[in-house]
Chain A
């Protein structure tokens, strides 16, 4: 059994929270005391049934306003798979929270209200999904019950979305007509849509390929911590502890340490009390090298035959996440895996109007702005392009005055 991480994108009234509530409810993932709390709540649907949306609104302010403000994580499992849902807000002012939720997801569910079809929000959410490189997309056409479960309505929306998907380069898109409120095609196949021959949403989620491995040749492991017990019996023990970002490291593989550029051979891979033949993407391990070379936190071990890019001048997509606007005159910190160094935004190439996808010249980035910039870093980073390797192609910006995380960066090219 493995884990699928997904998130839902949709605007405020598209029924995102209801969809998640329905998934939890129909998979029997809501416990009696939580259900009791639901039933005693004052929020009810028009027909008196319980409002499933309140299951996901965890904060007082959210319940007061009836909207989702921040990302919430929900968990459920079936016999086939475990699921982690990042419940992200749909409002434009919470774009940063959607980017946050999307950054760890393998799959996105884009909700479309069957009454309204593809709208500005759909374009925005789909753009973010393509920007963040989400592999699988499910377009859930919701509220089919309010459109008499009409195949014509569904097909028209599907055709319209196909054009958008093509423009954005979204490849793996699955279309499912649903009613989150009534439960059609969420867990159980709908009795109202004989014309639909696909699977229910849950069945699709249970079998979609999670593809944990990023390109297998790109073996990358940032060193997080050097284990040196320095005891009498382990006098010479020196292990490099980290999590394999992508690819596979095997004993006897030739590896290069960046930024130093020195090479050595893997002598041993350990995981707690076990020795491993190989370490795969996603595993947290300890690697030993044959030669005693200087390695510390912030260095990266890579496969010598598939080196990453090393550069101090990087073209990247930037999503600005802070109320304080981007100031190209000051220095920020950039955190790329276990390495943190100073940086400046050297140039703003363009800003994207995420409602029309048009590019504009810009002097500054404000909260929720997205566009492309050139970042100049104090120390060279050893990275891959985001499109090839999400884990080694992303970084965050930190404002050293406030220590806040102010930007999400996706590396697109080296300028050097």
Chain B
């Protein structure tokens, strides 16, 4: 059929909406994990397309490390107000205050690893049985093995050898009490797909994604935003650079790239030309070849 003009973004979008509606239909207490990054912002848009004019059948959940970019938090609060949905915040600072985790020390200290504990506690507290996340299989090779419905045990652990086969477009969300399912509706999207979708849908993003002047230091070959959350000493030289961020995580583990791209078209061009993967800017993946696999086994998203 020649008029059958259903392009790749339409197809990815329709698949993601189908997955979100399966979550709504199969689970009692789902949640959408919202980090303020472009992937979870895309998820919110997809949820609007899946459930409007109704309400979302789940709250948004932000695991707040307390070390976020200010711009991300501002964006989060404005967005939640605009869409009129519920936001639940799980606080890493609270986990630290309660003694459930201990703040890392040393030059490369980060709260990234600590958020797993806060996430699992938040899941437990609210009895979430499904957590929707914006992970994509193109991000990292352990992610490439992940199912769209990924079952975690009561300790939040992922067991790559015990994954359920996932056939056709049928998703099995049956779980035992205490288990939960991590659901990844944009598994089949690439970084470029997300950007092209954001452009097509004209979705607003936190300003840190666009090139801006910022005080940075260079650490382990990466440009990091200078902030009180980074353990800086006299060796660290603060320089003002024009940068933007490709991923948005904790300020202590997300590296910037030098860039002049302040419009979405320029960003897409820059990513298309780039020879470095998105995860190349995440210090947490550089620890070992199996860093992501090991963190996922422990309950990380």
Contacts and interface: CB of A to CB of B under 8 A. Distances in A.
A binds B: yes
A32 B145 contact: no
A150 to B, nearest CB: 36
Interface in A362-396: 390-391, 394-396
B106 interface: no
Nearest to A97: B165
Band of interface residues on A: 35 or more
Interface stretch (A122-130, A184-192, A333-341): A333-341
Contacts of B10: 282-283
A2 B6 contact: yes
B18 interface: yes
Interface in A1-59: 1-3, 31-34, 37, 41, 55-59
A284 B49 CA distance: 9
Contacts of B172: 335, 396, 398, 403, 405
A282 B165 contact: no
A2 B14 CA distance: 13
A403 B137 CA distance: 25
Name the residue in B18, B25, B277, B280 with the highest tally of chain A Cβ atoms < 10 Å from its Cβ.
Answer: B25
B8 A2 contact: yes
A333 B161 CA distance: 23
A350 interface: no
A345 B274 CA distance: 54
A1 B167 contact: no
Interface string B38-74: 0000000000111111110100000000000000000
B250 interface: no
B134 to A, nearest CB: 16
Interface stretch (A72-80, A153-161, A261-269, A304-312): A72-80
A303 interface: no
Interface string A226-243: 011100001001000111
Nearest to B142: A58
Interface stretch (A99-107, A135-143, A164-172, A352-360): A99-107
A405 to B, nearest CB: 4
Interface stretch (A63-71, A196-204, A252-260): A63-71
Contact of B188 (A84, A272, A405): A84
B199 interface: no
Contacts of A72: 137, 141, 144-145
A31 B165 contact: no
B275 interface: yes
Given A2-B8, A37-B289, A104-B168, A237 B53 contact: yes
Contacts of B145: 58-59, 70-72
A213 B15 CA distance: 15
A207 interface: no
Contact of B17 (A84, A243, A403): A243
A297 interface: yes
A276 interface: no
A282 B50 contact: no
A82 interface: yes
A287 interface: no
Given A1-B8, A82-B8, A243 B168 contact: no
Interface string B168-184: 11101011100000000
Given A2-B7, A243-B17, A394-B167, A73 B144 contact: yes
Interface in B261-301: 274-277, 280, 289-290, 293
Contacts of B100: none
Contacts of B188: 73, 75, 84
Given A58-B145, A103-B168, A243 B14 contact: yes
11 contacts: A32-B276, A33-B276, A37-B289, A96-B165, A227-B51, A227-B53, A243-B17, A284-B17, A338-B25, A396-B172, A403-B174
Given A31-B280, A59-B160, A273-B52, 6 more contacts: A58-B142, A75-B138, A225-B24, A229-B55, A271-B49, A396-B168
Closest 10 pairs (CB-CB, A-B): A58-B141, A284-B17, A32-B275, A403-B174, A33-B280, A224-B21, A284-B14, A243-B18, A100-B165, A103-B167
